[in-house]
Structure 1
Amino acid sequence: MTKFTTIISGALLLLASCTANSPKQTQEDRLTNFVDPFIGTAYHGHTYPGAAFPFGQIQLSPDNGTQGWDWCSGYHYSDSILAGFSHLHLSGTGIGDLADISFLPVSSEVTFQEGEKNADFVTRYSGKYSHDQEKAKAGYYAVTLKNSNIKAEFTVTERAGLHRYSFPEGGENNLIINLGFAINWDKPYQTSLNVVDSLLVTGSRLSNGWAKDQHVYFAARFSTPITKSITENVGGEGRTVGVLKFGQKQVMAKVGISSVSIENALANLDSSLPGWDFEATAQAASDAWEKELSKIRIQSSDSAQKTIFYTSLYHTMVAPSLFSDLNGDFKGVNGDLQKATGYNRYTVFSLWDTYRALHPLFTLTQQAKVNDMVKSMLDHYKQTGLLPVWELEGNETWCMVGNHSISVIAEAILKGIGDFDQQLAFEAMKVTSMHDRDGMGYHDKLGYIPADKIQQSVAKAEEVCIDDWAVAAVAQKLGKTEDAAYFAKRALNYRNYFDKETGFMRGKLTNGQWTTPFDPAYSKH
């Protein structure tokens, strides 16, 4: 694979280079100092502040427990309630899901009330916090809860999360594991929690939400023995809650997950996090981020600009995230066992959001991962007969318009990146492009998608034309001249939407007339 140095033009940007003659980096020089994970957690940013590893399998972050659009990531800066710390999170999306396997330390006794809803149970034991008691940096998050004075700290490796809880004197040392906790429309339908021995707890959470059939299996090892445990269903079947009591004031937990099995979760955990050194683990996470951030260096005397830039760059690498286990296993789209051989299977492909800028950036900075991501998309094709639109945890969500895995794969082929099967890739691109989704059948018949038949016809068609051009370019490169001519011609259908009189792209009716009345500010053309 080509080795290269990233160059980005602009007043702030400088060649990123690492040579044997480079001066030794000091702590003050570290680019991770310019990462602020709280950026994007307010207003409509939908990011989370918790601990993440570059493209890692776990995102260990706090959840407020508030249901609403601004809590798609589980957390919003306006909030001050802490419902728990869970192990999977989405960043920047407009739909909420995940927040699986929730842990919450409490210093009080935990009781169960007959008939209580899970959300009400969460409310009774939620912590309170203020932002002056929070700390977040690349690979690390900490908060001290105001109502209990418990300090909770978190860091991560590529496949595991590490918790450290410091309980105050005079209270209980309890940990709630709430598998019934859910955000937005996610609903667990089957959960299990097993105290294997005094140092190991395992379990599973299967749910329906935006990801229609999500499977999360987990294994948690503890640094000090569990002295007592109790398990109850709180809020009905599929909402298991466990309470673990400890005899020590400092409790550490390390957690691995899998979409396939508890055994795989345990293997992921033990391979990725064999020890208990919290500081060393946090430093290793920081070093991993430093390595990735160092691929692009900027020159500026304005630290605020550097913080904006490197936090943005940080956010480009919290997803897509690892989905296959250490042994290559992962849950298939149809719920069956699949195996990634010779590559890592990734998930969270928000392609309508990311094909324009994020994936092109990866072709400069993450060529090996581009190869794996393309193979992940082709795997989806082999399972379903179509490339993914918006893949989440082994599920197709069908969210947004276009088929932009096509553009991502085309860019990799045209730039000579990867060792994936290009003939299979072209087949997948062509088959997906010809699939009659969102009115595509009208493209050949009319040269446009009629607005009186399909809502958002202009937006859908414009995106498809971009993908058609990508198919044509790959066909040309692979010597498929007939396909190249067909898709190049169809890509020009975007012209059929331009209204010279108004200067806007505009919907057309089946009879060829423009839609009226026409308001360019309307959001569903």
Structure 2
Amino acid sequence: MKQVILLFTLILFAVSCSKNISKNHNNTQILTKYVNPFIGTGGHGHTYPGATVPFGMLQVTPVNGISGWDWCSGYHYSDSIAVGFSHLALSGTGIGDLADIIFMPVNKEVNIVKMPKSRDSLDYKSLYNHKNENASPGYYQVYLEDHNINVELTTSKRTAYHKYTFKANDEQSVVIDLGFAINWDKATSSGLKVEDDFTISGHRFSTGWAKNQKVFFVAKFSKPIIGYHLAADNKSVDTKDIKGVKTAAQLFFNDIENNELQVKVALSSVGIENAKANLEASGFEFESVKAKAENTWNEVLSKITVDTDTDSLKTIFYTAMYHAHVAPVTFSDKNGEYRKENDEIATAKDFTAYSTLSLWDTFRAEHPLLTLTSPNVVSDIINSMLSYYETKNILPVWTLYANETNTMTGYHSIPVIVEAYLKGIKGFDAEKAYEAMKTTMMQDERGLNHYKKYGYIPYNLLDESVTITLEYAYDDWCVAQMAKALGKEDDYKLFLNRSKAYEHLFDKGTGFMRGKSIDGVSWHEPFDPKYSNHREHTDYTEGNAWQHSWFVPHAVEDLAMLHGGNEIFTERLEQLFTESSEITGTNVSADISGLIGQYAHGNEPSHHIAYMFNGVGKPWRTQFMSRQILDSQYNTSPNGLSGNEDCGQMSAWYVLSSVGLYPMNPASTEYEIGSPIFDTSTFNLPNGKTFTIEAEHVSDKNIYIQSATLNGEPFNNTSISHETILNGGILHFVMGASPNKDWGTTKTEF
């Protein structure tokens, strides 16, 4: 009997060890293999395929050299010509700045004196084929057919690494072009200096969307420079140090018996000496840097692990996780210094300064996702915003390379700050943050003077008046919540009252938010809810009345009452998704894409709408619509995004929605529950705990929640708090093919 017991014990021990080994294996699995950086490089996704690390300073990536909306990142999958490899790029925006500091390896002498206006006359451009092109997190490779050169790129946080493999006995040369520009960008000053046999430095100042962009760089080569040509403003210059508006260099190298040439490049917004300090001191350890970049990405991707038998879903999910951690980008140098818009040099003390803050987009899901995966980055982003406030006495709208672009509407740094504070994220001065928010919302810029005077913005005083009013109302609600948390009761009442501004613009006769005149009575006529006029003479930003009339995420129940009750409200919500997808007008916004009826998933104002059914007692409709969006608006092709990626927002929507959660109102600190698509999804939280979402019987047909438990107890809520998730545990859903209209209609107390 003792032998039987011993045998049984050994079996149990072996099974336990097997489970632990399996668990440990899962925790260290290679998730980067599921990432496809080419997703979003086609269509209107506007992503780039080049190498970067999470929130890295550099984006070293191919440039096609075309000026066009779909080449905003510098690259589009439909193209097959490269003009070089730049070190700064925007991920998925509709803006065409950056593509700075272009390097291009060539195997012959080329004409750099003539500064062309387009790529057609560039001597150094080259054809490439997607069959000889690869990308993975932290790595990019392409073969340049015209020069017979294989190009490989990788990067650390502040240093880019290039590896060029030439054909045997070919001339080895590199062109650096600081004058070439695409889209909005235009060089205003540039310079190059051959510092020694291995090193070249320089600067490029430009204007465009960012009016005062200053980039300094240093590049160190693995072989000595044996000759060079320098040119400035269409003239050849016989000196080691040149300056002009447009400058370029061609460098030549010896040791052609060694086919490989490497170069490492670092940038700075402050100056060349800072760029030198940012440059990694070690040698040309391309493979080890590449491996480190991959490991860093794997750590980030592992913060949420999903289990499914469908590999394509893993590819979409982990690519979305990848894109959601590309921006914002590191802006401060190793010594903490960074340049402000007024050219003041500031120092980030005890934080990293970030730029590329696409806040109109990213406050919706990107920043909420980061509160779960990277709370330390969130606090640094807020400190970066407060640094901007110190200079301008107002919070940022959309910052690029320290420049305020004032692009898009609202002040959505505010919900990012309030969400972080209410979620318990530390590392920034809450009182200073509150001062910044209140000061921002009490000033008179960007229509706030009209908003304060009338309680809304009259359409005959400012374009996009409906969108701006609704977004200011939400920002006010957010300020009110932080005022309440800080015990500022009078401010709480003031901003809470202002947050009802949406009531002024709701037209009961049509059921839409409409432009209202200065008289407080007259509507903007004629009215067509499908009409779009891009960014001018319009009441809506990049959309129409169908898409913008739902932006009251802080008061869904009140909005339903304005419509006449839950039934009328849900009927109109249903109509949004079933209405004809026709968009009327002669200047329709290209951003209106990814249409399901009049719902436009390709642009951010629609992103919360499917989750509004939860707030009016019909969660099964949220489950149906969120799953329809997940299934129809994302795929594994280069056209796999239905609209601009917008610095992580489009992907963050997928990451959270696919596990069954969405922050419809981010500053509420609640996540709405939708329809999970994975068997299990596990958040490996920064506090060391795990929160797992299980979806029993889930499939492409079993999309409806039948029942749920949280840590074994019945769970009947359509939302879950950030605090509950941080406490860890298991949220278990049983899924089915038909809606359970009883689940989620009465709340469970916890």
Q: TM-score, normalised by structure 2?
A: 0.66
Instruction: Quote the Cα distance in structure 2 between the aligned partners of 1:357 and 1:116.
Output: 43
Query: CA 1:519 to 1:30, structure 2 compared with 1: closer, same or farther past 3 Å?
Result: same
Secondary structure in structure 2 of the residue aligned to 1:125: coil
Stretch deviating more after TM superposition (359-368 or 122-131): 122-131
Instruction: Quote the Cα distance in structure 1 between the aligned partners of 2:522 and 2:462.
Output: 15
TM-fit CA distance, 1:363: 0.8
TM-fit CA distance, 1:106: 0.7
Aligned to 2:24: 23
Secondary structure in structure 2 of the residue aligned to 1:319: coil
Instruction: Quote the Cα distance in structure 1 between the aligned partners of 2:93 and 2:38.
Output: 16
TM-fit CA distance, 1:20: 9.4
1:514 aligns with 2:513: no
Instruction: Quote the Cα distance in structure 2 between the aligned partners of 1:326 and 1:445.
Output: 46
1:98 aligns with 2:98: yes
Aligned to 2:64: 64
Aligned to 1:140: 139
Instruction: Quote the Cα distance in structure 2 between the aligned partners of 1:104 and 1:118.
Output: 17
Instruction: Quote the Cα distance in structure 2 between the aligned partners of 1:270 and 1:508.
Output: 58
1:268 aligns with 2:278: yes
Aligned residues between the structures: 503
Matches of residues 416-495 of structure 1 in structure 2 within 5 Å?
416-495=424-503
* Matched letter for residue 238 of structure 1: V
TM-fit CA distance, 1:234: 4.6
Residues 419-452 of structure 1 deviation map (CA, whole Å, 9 limit, x = unaligned): 2111110000001111223322222322211011
Residues 441-482 of structure 1 deviation map (CA, whole Å, 9 limit, x = unaligned): 222322211011111100111111110000000000000000
Instruction: Quote the Cα distance in structure 2 between the aligned partners of 1:231 and 1:209.
Output: 26
Matches of residues 220-239 of structure 1 in structure 2 within 5 Å?
220-235=219-234, 237-239=244-246
Aligned to 2:179: 180
Stretch deviating more after TM superposition (44-53 or 508-517): 508-517
Secondary structure in structure 2 of the residue aligned to 1:194: strand
Instruction: Quote the Cα distance in structure 2 between the aligned partners of 1:315 and 1:351.
Output: 16
Query: CA 1:120 to 1:88, structure 2 compared with 1: closer, same or farther past 3 Å?
Result: closer
Instruction: Quote the Cα distance in structure 2 between the aligned partners of 1:225 and 1:314.
Output: 37
Stretch deviating more after TM superposition (236-245 or 199-208): 236-245
Instruction: Quote the Cα distance in structure 2 between the aligned partners of 1:478 and 1:411.
Output: 14
Matches of residues 22-421 of structure 1 in structure 2 within 5 Å?
22-24=23-25, 29-112=29-112, 116-117=115-116, 119=118, 123-235=122-234, 237-247=244-254, 248=256, 249-270=259-280, 274-421=282-429
Aligned to 1:499: 507
Query: CA 1:431 to 1:116, structure 2 compared with 1: closer, same or farther past 3 Å?
Result: closer
Secondary structure in structure 2 of the residue aligned to 1:51: coil
Secondary structure in structure 2 of the residue aligned to 1:228: strand
TM-fit CA distance, 1:119: 3.6
Contact between 1:118 and 1:234, CA under 8 Å: does it hold in 2? no
Secondary structure in structure 1 of the residue aligned to 2:75: coil
Contact between 2:110 and 2:123, CA under 8 Å: does it hold in 1? no
Contact between 2:116 and 2:180, CA under 8 Å: does it hold in 1? no
Instruction: Quote the Cα distance in structure 1 between the aligned partners of 2:479 and 2:52.
Output: 35
* Matched letter for residue 148 of structure 1: H
Secondary structure in structure 1 of the residue aligned to 2:500: helix
Residues 293-341 of structure 1 deviation map (CA, whole Å, 9 limit, x = unaligned): 1000111111111111111110111110000000010001211111111
Instruction: Quote the Cα distance in structure 1 between the aligned partners of 2:116 and 2:293.
Output: 38
Secondary structure in structure 2 of the residue aligned to 1:23: helix
TM-fit CA distance, 1:25: 5.7
* Matched letter for residue 331 of structure 1: R
Give 4+ residue runs of structure 1 displaced > 3 Å after superposition: 19-22, 24-27, 118-122, 234-237
Instruction: Quote the Cα distance in structure 1 between the aligned partners of 2:387 and 2:515.
Output: 36
Secondary structure in structure 2 of the residue aligned to 1:230: strand
* Matched letter for residue 365 of structure 1: T
Query: CA 1:112 to 1:32, structure 2 compared with 1: closer, same or farther past 3 Å?
Result: closer
Instruction: Quote the Cα distance in structure 1 between the aligned partners of 2:211 and 2:315.
Output: 37
Instruction: Quote the Cα distance in structure 2 between the aligned partners of 1:181 and 1:276.
Output: 28
TM-fit CA distance, 1:43: 0.8
Instruction: Quote the Cα distance in structure 2 between the aligned partners of 1:116 and 1:403.
Output: 40
Aligned to 1:5: none
TM-fit CA distance, 1:170: 4.2
Contact between 1:118 and 1:180, CA under 8 Å: does it hold in 2? no
Larger-gyration structure (1/2): 2
Instruction: Quote the Cα distance in structure 2 between the aligned partners of 1:441 and 1:221.
Output: 53
Secondary structure in structure 1 of the residue aligned to 2:77: coil
Query: CA 1:122 to 1:352, structure 2 compared with 1: closer, same or farther past 3 Å?
Result: farther
Instruction: Quote the Cα distance in structure 2 between the aligned partners of 1:292 and 1:20.
Output: 22
Residues 368-410 of structure 1 deviation map (CA, whole Å, 9 limit, x = unaligned): 0111000000000001111000011011000000000011011
Contact between 2:66 and 2:118, CA under 8 Å: does it hold in 1? no
Secondary structure in structure 2 of the residue aligned to 1:387: coil
Instruction: Quote the Cα distance in structure 2 between the aligned partners of 1:100 and 1:116.
Output: 16
Instruction: Quote the Cα distance in structure 2 between the aligned partners of 1:406 and 1:342.
Output: 22
Q: TM-score, normalised by structure 1?
A: 0.93
Contact between 1:218 and 1:258, CA under 8 Å: does it hold in 2? yes
Instruction: Quote the Cα distance in structure 2 between the aligned partners of 1:432 and 1:503.
Output: 31
Aligned to 1:6: none
Instruction: Quote the Cα distance in structure 2 between the aligned partners of 1:23 and 1:443.
Output: 56
Contact between 1:387 and 1:429, CA under 8 Å: does it hold in 2? yes
TM-fit CA distance, 1:415: 1.1
* Matched letter for residue 24 of structure 1: H
Instruction: Quote the Cα distance in structure 2 between the aligned partners of 1:103 and 1:96.
Output: 19
* Matched letter for residue 268 of structure 1: N
Gaps of at least 5 residues in structure 2 are: 1-19, 236-243, 533-537, 540-750
Contact between 1:67 and 1:184, CA under 8 Å: does it hold in 2? yes
Contact between 2:119 and 2:125, CA under 8 Å: does it hold in 1? no
What percent identity do the matched residue pairs reach?
Answer: 47
Secondary structure in structure 2 of the residue aligned to 1:165: strand
Gaps of at least 5 residues in structure 1 are: 1-18
Instruction: Quote the Cα distance in structure 1 between the aligned partners of 2:380 and 2:329.
Output: 11
Aligned to 2:680: none
TM-fit CA distance, 1:116: 4.6
TM-fit CA distance, 1:124: 2.2
Stretch deviating more after TM superposition (442-451 or 227-236): 227-236
Instruction: Quote the Cα distance in structure 2 between the aligned partners of 1:382 and 1:325.
Output: 20
Secondary structure in structure 2 of the residue aligned to 1:136: strand
